[in-house]
Amino acid sequence: MQRICVIGGSRYFGKLLVQRLQAAGHQVTVINRGAAPPPPGVTHLVADRDDETALTAVLGSRTFDVVVDQICYTPVQAAIATRVFRGRTARYVMTSTIEVYDPATAALPAVPYDTLVPEDIVDPATWLVRRDLPWHDAAYLEAHYAEGKRQAEAVFTQDSAFASVRSAHVLGGGVQEFTGRLAHYIERISRGTEIAVHAEVLPTVFIHYEELADLLLWAATATDFTGPVNACSDDPLDVRSLAAVIAAQVGREPVYRTVPAGEAASPFSFDRHYAMSNTRATKLGFSFSRTTDWLPGAVAEALEASAPRAI
Protein backbone atom coordinates (compact mmCIF):
# COMPACT_ATOMS: atom_id res chain seq x y z
CA MET A 1 0.00 0.00 0.00
CA GLN A 2 1.21 3.48 -0.92
CA ARG A 3 0.05 6.89 0.23
CA ILE A 4 -1.01 8.68 -2.94
CA CYS A 5 -2.29 12.21 -3.38
CA VAL A 6 -4.27 13.16 -6.49
CA ILE A 7 -4.66 16.86 -7.28
CA GLY A 8 -7.92 17.17 -9.20
CA GLY A 9 -9.30 13.72 -9.84
CA SER A 10 -12.95 14.79 -9.76
CA ARG A 11 -13.99 13.89 -13.32
CA TYR A 12 -13.37 11.69 -16.34
CA PHE A 13 -10.15 9.64 -16.31
CA GLY A 14 -8.96 11.41 -13.14
CA LYS A 15 -12.02 10.19 -11.28
CA LEU A 16 -11.45 6.70 -12.67
CA LEU A 17 -7.80 6.85 -11.56
CA VAL A 18 -8.88 7.59 -7.98
CA GLN A 19 -11.26 4.64 -8.04
CA ARG A 20 -8.57 2.31 -9.36
CA LEU A 21 -5.98 3.49 -6.86
CA GLN A 22 -8.45 2.81 -4.07
CA ALA A 23 -9.41 -0.60 -5.51
CA ALA A 24 -5.70 -1.51 -5.62
CA GLY A 25 -5.51 -0.94 -1.86
CA HIS A 26 -3.68 2.38 -1.79
CA GLN A 27 -4.35 5.10 0.76
CA VAL A 28 -5.71 7.90 -1.43
CA THR A 29 -6.04 11.61 -0.75
CA VAL A 30 -7.76 13.95 -3.22
CA ILE A 31 -7.23 17.70 -3.30
CA ASN A 32 -9.73 19.86 -5.17
CA ARG A 33 -11.90 22.93 -4.65
CA GLY A 34 -14.74 20.90 -3.17
CA ALA A 35 -17.26 20.84 -6.01
CA ALA A 36 -17.06 17.05 -6.41
CA PRO A 37 -16.33 14.84 -3.40
CA PRO A 38 -14.29 11.66 -3.95
CA PRO A 39 -15.61 8.14 -3.24
CA PRO A 40 -16.15 7.03 0.38
CA GLY A 41 -12.89 6.02 2.03
CA VAL A 42 -10.82 8.61 0.15
CA THR A 43 -9.47 11.52 2.19
CA HIS A 44 -10.78 14.78 0.77
CA LEU A 45 -8.86 18.03 1.23
CA VAL A 46 -10.51 21.20 -0.07
CA ALA A 47 -8.17 23.91 -1.36
CA ASP A 48 -7.46 26.00 -4.45
CA ARG A 49 -4.15 24.81 -5.87
CA ASP A 50 -3.39 28.41 -6.92
CA ASP A 51 -3.47 29.54 -3.29
CA GLU A 52 -0.11 28.47 -1.88
CA THR A 53 -0.94 29.46 1.69
CA ALA A 54 -4.24 27.58 1.71
CA LEU A 55 -2.71 24.52 0.03
CA THR A 56 0.11 24.40 2.58
CA ALA A 57 -2.32 24.79 5.46
CA VAL A 58 -4.72 22.07 4.34
CA LEU A 59 -1.87 19.59 3.90
CA GLY A 60 -0.65 20.14 7.44
CA SER A 61 2.04 17.56 8.20
CA ARG A 62 0.89 15.03 5.57
CA THR A 63 3.45 13.29 3.39
CA PHE A 64 2.95 10.97 0.42
CA ASP A 65 4.77 8.33 -1.55
CA VAL A 66 3.39 9.76 -4.81
CA VAL A 67 1.55 12.87 -5.97
CA VAL A 68 -0.40 12.68 -9.24
CA ASP A 69 -1.17 16.16 -10.55
CA GLN A 70 -4.12 16.11 -12.94
CA ILE A 71 -4.73 19.85 -13.26
CA CYS A 72 -1.42 21.67 -13.67
CA TYR A 73 -1.58 24.02 -16.65
CA THR A 74 1.04 26.72 -16.05
CA PRO A 75 4.58 27.21 -14.78
CA VAL A 76 3.17 29.34 -11.96
CA GLN A 77 1.03 26.43 -10.74
CA ALA A 78 4.01 24.11 -11.08
CA ALA A 79 6.22 26.46 -9.06
CA ILE A 80 3.65 26.58 -6.26
CA ALA A 81 3.41 22.80 -6.24
CA THR A 82 7.18 22.30 -6.12
CA ARG A 83 7.42 24.56 -3.09
CA VAL A 84 4.42 23.07 -1.29
CA PHE A 85 5.31 19.42 -1.90
CA ARG A 86 9.07 19.65 -1.49
CA GLY A 87 9.92 17.19 1.25
CA ARG A 88 6.38 15.79 1.27
CA THR A 89 6.60 13.23 -1.55
CA ALA A 90 9.09 10.82 -3.05
CA ARG A 91 7.59 11.00 -6.56
CA TYR A 92 5.58 13.56 -8.55
CA VAL A 93 3.65 12.62 -11.71
CA MET A 94 2.05 15.30 -13.87
CA THR A 95 -0.60 14.65 -16.51
CA SER A 96 0.51 16.44 -19.67
CA THR A 97 -0.68 16.36 -23.27
CA ILE A 98 0.11 15.55 -26.89
CA GLU A 99 -0.33 19.25 -27.59
CA VAL A 100 3.19 19.93 -26.33
CA TYR A 101 4.25 18.53 -29.74
CA ASP A 102 1.99 20.75 -31.83
CA PRO A 103 4.32 22.52 -34.28
CA ALA A 104 1.70 25.24 -34.67
CA THR A 105 2.35 26.41 -31.10
CA ALA A 106 6.16 26.33 -30.84
CA ALA A 107 9.33 26.12 -32.89
CA LEU A 108 10.08 22.40 -32.70
CA PRO A 109 12.57 20.19 -34.55
CA ALA A 110 11.12 18.99 -37.85
CA VAL A 111 10.27 15.31 -38.19
CA PRO A 112 9.24 13.37 -41.30
CA TYR A 113 5.51 12.85 -41.76
CA ASP A 114 5.89 9.10 -41.34
CA THR A 115 7.78 9.38 -38.02
CA LEU A 116 5.99 9.02 -34.71
CA VAL A 117 7.31 11.74 -32.39
CA PRO A 118 9.51 10.63 -29.45
CA GLU A 119 9.60 12.40 -26.10
CA ASP A 120 12.95 14.12 -26.60
CA ILE A 121 11.55 16.38 -29.32
CA VAL A 122 10.29 18.48 -26.39
CA ASP A 123 12.86 18.28 -23.60
CA PRO A 124 11.49 20.01 -20.48
CA ALA A 125 14.98 20.25 -18.99
CA THR A 126 15.95 22.75 -21.69
CA TRP A 127 12.64 24.56 -22.16
CA LEU A 128 12.51 28.28 -21.38
CA VAL A 129 10.21 29.17 -18.48
CA ARG A 130 8.38 32.53 -18.41
CA ARG A 131 6.45 32.91 -15.17
CA ASP A 132 5.95 36.63 -15.87
CA LEU A 133 3.44 35.96 -18.67
CA PRO A 134 -0.29 36.49 -17.90
CA TRP A 135 -0.98 32.86 -16.97
CA HIS A 136 -3.70 33.98 -14.57
CA ASP A 137 -5.77 35.28 -17.49
CA ALA A 138 -8.23 32.59 -18.65
CA ALA A 139 -8.24 33.74 -22.27
CA TYR A 140 -4.46 33.84 -22.44
CA LEU A 141 -4.18 30.40 -20.87
CA GLU A 142 -6.69 28.91 -23.31
CA ALA A 143 -4.79 30.36 -26.26
CA HIS A 144 -1.45 29.11 -24.87
CA TYR A 145 -2.51 25.78 -23.40
CA ALA A 146 0.31 23.79 -25.03
CA GLU A 147 2.99 26.26 -23.95
CA GLY A 148 1.61 26.30 -20.42
CA LYS A 149 2.01 22.53 -20.23
CA ARG A 150 5.54 22.66 -21.68
CA GLN A 151 6.63 25.27 -19.16
CA ALA A 152 4.95 23.45 -16.27
CA GLU A 153 6.92 20.32 -17.14
CA ALA A 154 10.08 22.42 -17.28
CA VAL A 155 9.53 23.73 -13.75
CA PHE A 156 8.88 20.25 -12.34
CA THR A 157 11.96 18.84 -14.08
CA GLN A 158 14.08 20.64 -11.48
CA ASP A 159 13.02 17.77 -9.21
CA SER A 160 14.82 14.51 -10.07
CA ALA A 161 11.77 12.46 -8.97
CA PHE A 162 9.44 14.05 -11.55
CA ALA A 163 7.63 12.24 -14.37
CA SER A 164 5.07 13.45 -16.89
CA VAL A 165 2.49 11.48 -18.85
CA ARG A 166 1.80 13.12 -22.22
CA SER A 167 -1.66 11.93 -23.12
CA ALA A 168 -2.94 11.44 -26.64
CA HIS A 169 -6.43 12.64 -27.58
CA VAL A 170 -8.72 10.94 -25.06
CA LEU A 171 -11.96 9.29 -26.21
CA GLY A 172 -14.61 7.10 -24.61
CA GLY A 173 -16.76 7.40 -21.56
CA GLY A 174 -20.08 8.39 -23.14
CA VAL A 175 -21.63 11.26 -21.20
CA GLN A 176 -18.41 11.67 -19.18
CA GLU A 177 -16.40 12.74 -22.21
CA PHE A 178 -16.03 16.43 -21.51
CA THR A 179 -14.30 17.42 -24.76
CA GLY A 180 -17.40 16.58 -26.81
CA ARG A 181 -15.27 15.81 -29.86
CA LEU A 182 -16.63 12.34 -30.48
CA ALA A 183 -20.18 13.67 -30.03
CA HIS A 184 -19.32 16.40 -32.56
CA TYR A 185 -18.72 13.80 -35.26
CA ILE A 186 -21.62 11.58 -34.29
CA GLU A 187 -24.03 14.51 -34.51
CA ARG A 188 -22.74 15.74 -37.87
CA ILE A 189 -22.61 12.34 -39.52
CA SER A 190 -26.05 11.42 -38.17
CA ARG A 191 -27.58 14.63 -39.53
CA GLY A 192 -25.61 14.78 -42.76
CA THR A 193 -23.97 18.04 -41.68
CA GLU A 194 -20.71 18.95 -43.38
CA ILE A 195 -17.44 18.12 -41.63
CA ALA A 196 -14.64 20.58 -42.38
CA VAL A 197 -11.39 18.75 -43.16
CA HIS A 198 -8.10 19.63 -44.79
CA ALA A 199 -7.33 18.39 -48.27
CA GLU A 200 -4.42 16.35 -46.94
CA VAL A 201 -5.25 15.09 -43.46
CA LEU A 202 -2.46 13.66 -41.35
CA PRO A 203 -2.85 10.96 -38.70
CA THR A 204 -2.78 11.52 -34.97
CA VAL A 205 -2.98 9.25 -31.94
CA PHE A 206 -5.73 8.46 -29.45
CA ILE A 207 -6.16 6.72 -26.12
CA HIS A 208 -9.25 5.33 -24.37
CA TYR A 209 -9.98 7.04 -21.08
CA GLU A 210 -9.80 3.74 -19.19
CA GLU A 211 -6.41 2.95 -20.69
CA LEU A 212 -5.14 6.39 -19.67
CA ALA A 213 -6.32 5.76 -16.11
CA ASP A 214 -4.49 2.42 -16.20
CA LEU A 215 -1.31 4.08 -17.44
CA LEU A 216 -1.44 6.77 -14.75
CA LEU A 217 -1.92 4.05 -12.14
CA TRP A 218 1.13 2.27 -13.59
CA ALA A 219 3.18 5.48 -13.70
CA ALA A 220 2.37 6.25 -10.08
CA THR A 221 2.78 2.82 -8.51
CA ALA A 222 4.48 0.26 -10.74
CA THR A 223 7.56 1.99 -12.06
CA ASP A 224 10.08 4.65 -11.10
CA PHE A 225 10.90 6.21 -14.47
CA THR A 226 11.51 9.95 -14.64
CA GLY A 227 10.93 12.45 -17.40
CA PRO A 228 8.13 12.33 -19.98
CA VAL A 229 6.40 9.30 -21.48
CA ASN A 230 3.92 9.36 -24.33
CA ALA A 231 0.56 7.72 -23.67
CA CYS A 232 -1.21 6.58 -26.83
CA SER A 233 -2.78 3.43 -28.17
CA ASP A 234 -1.24 1.74 -31.18
CA ASP A 235 -2.62 2.53 -34.67
CA PRO A 236 -2.63 6.26 -35.51
CA LEU A 237 -5.74 7.36 -37.40
CA ASP A 238 -6.61 10.35 -39.53
CA VAL A 239 -9.94 12.14 -39.28
CA ARG A 240 -11.45 10.30 -42.26
CA SER A 241 -10.63 6.92 -40.71
CA LEU A 242 -12.20 8.05 -37.44
CA ALA A 243 -15.32 9.23 -39.25
CA ALA A 244 -15.55 5.93 -41.13
CA VAL A 245 -15.80 4.00 -37.85
CA ILE A 246 -18.59 6.32 -36.72
CA ALA A 247 -20.35 6.13 -40.09
CA ALA A 248 -20.37 2.34 -39.96
CA GLN A 249 -22.45 2.46 -36.76
CA VAL A 250 -24.59 5.46 -37.66
CA GLY A 251 -25.45 4.01 -41.07
CA ARG A 252 -24.79 7.24 -42.94
CA GLU A 253 -21.78 8.41 -44.95
CA PRO A 254 -19.90 11.51 -43.79
CA VAL A 255 -20.25 14.70 -45.82
CA TYR A 256 -16.93 16.54 -46.09
CA ARG A 257 -16.07 20.13 -46.91
CA THR A 258 -12.42 20.76 -47.73
CA VAL A 259 -10.67 23.79 -46.23
CA PRO A 260 -7.24 25.15 -47.21
CA ALA A 261 -4.12 24.26 -45.25
CA GLY A 262 -3.67 26.52 -42.26
CA GLU A 263 -7.39 27.20 -41.81
CA ALA A 264 -9.46 25.88 -38.92
CA ALA A 265 -11.18 22.54 -39.45
CA SER A 266 -13.10 20.01 -37.38
CA PRO A 267 -11.38 18.39 -34.37
CA PHE A 268 -8.70 15.84 -35.31
CA SER A 269 -8.33 17.18 -38.87
CA PHE A 270 -4.63 18.03 -38.88
CA ASP A 271 -2.58 19.53 -41.69
CA ARG A 272 0.53 19.25 -39.53
CA HIS A 273 2.22 16.25 -37.98
CA TYR A 274 2.57 15.40 -34.31
CA ALA A 275 1.50 11.80 -33.86
CA MET A 276 3.37 10.40 -30.84
CA SER A 277 5.47 7.27 -30.40
CA ASN A 278 4.68 5.09 -27.37
CA THR A 279 7.99 3.19 -27.61
CA ARG A 280 9.41 4.47 -24.33
CA ALA A 281 6.40 3.47 -22.22
CA THR A 282 6.29 0.10 -23.98
CA LYS A 283 9.95 -0.55 -23.21
CA LEU A 284 9.32 0.44 -19.59
CA GLY A 285 6.68 -2.27 -19.37
CA PHE A 286 3.27 -0.82 -20.23
CA SER A 287 1.23 -2.74 -22.81
CA PHE A 288 -0.98 -0.62 -25.06
CA SER A 289 -4.16 -1.58 -26.86
CA ARG A 290 -4.93 -0.83 -30.51
CA THR A 291 -7.14 2.14 -31.29
CA THR A 292 -9.01 0.09 -33.89
CA ASP A 293 -9.95 -2.44 -31.20
CA TRP A 294 -11.60 -0.06 -28.72
CA LEU A 295 -12.86 2.78 -30.94
CA PRO A 296 -16.06 1.02 -32.17
CA GLY A 297 -17.07 0.40 -28.56
CA ALA A 298 -16.40 4.04 -27.64
CA VAL A 299 -18.56 5.16 -30.56
CA ALA A 300 -21.37 2.80 -29.50
CA GLU A 301 -21.18 4.17 -25.95
CA ALA A 302 -21.33 7.76 -27.21
CA LEU A 303 -24.28 6.91 -29.47
CA GLU A 304 -26.13 5.42 -26.52
CA ALA A 305 -25.39 8.50 -24.41
CA SER A 306 -26.74 10.79 -27.15
CA ALA A 307 -29.92 8.79 -27.77
CA PRO A 308 -33.20 10.40 -26.59
CA ARG A 309 -34.42 9.04 -23.28
CA ALA A 310 -37.95 7.75 -22.91
CA ILE A 311 -40.11 9.78 -20.54
Q: Residue 294, SS3?
A: helix
Which residue from 242, 233, 236, 197 is spatially nearest to 115, judged by alpha carbons? 236
The full set of domain ranges for the chain reads 3-304
Tens-place pLDDT, residues 170-210? 998 776 777 888 888 999 999 999 999 999 888 999 999 99
Tens-place pLDDT, residues 120-174? 999 999 999 999 999 999 999 999 999 999 999 999 998 778 999 999 999 987 7
Name the CATH superfamily housing domain 3-304.
NAD(P)-binding Rossmann-like Domain (3.40.50.720)
CA atoms within 13 A on the CB side of 156: 31
Q: How many CB atoms lie within 10 A of CB 86?
A: 10
209-221 vs 12-23: helix crossing angle, rounded to 10: 50
Residue 232: pLDDT over 50 = yes
Residue type, 70: Q
pLDDT of residue 304: 83
pLDDT of residue 310: 47
Tens-place pLDDT, residues 241-297? 999 999 999 999 999 999 988 788 998 998 888 899 999 999 999 999 999 999 999
pLDDT of residue 111: 83
Residue 24: pLDDT over 50 = yes
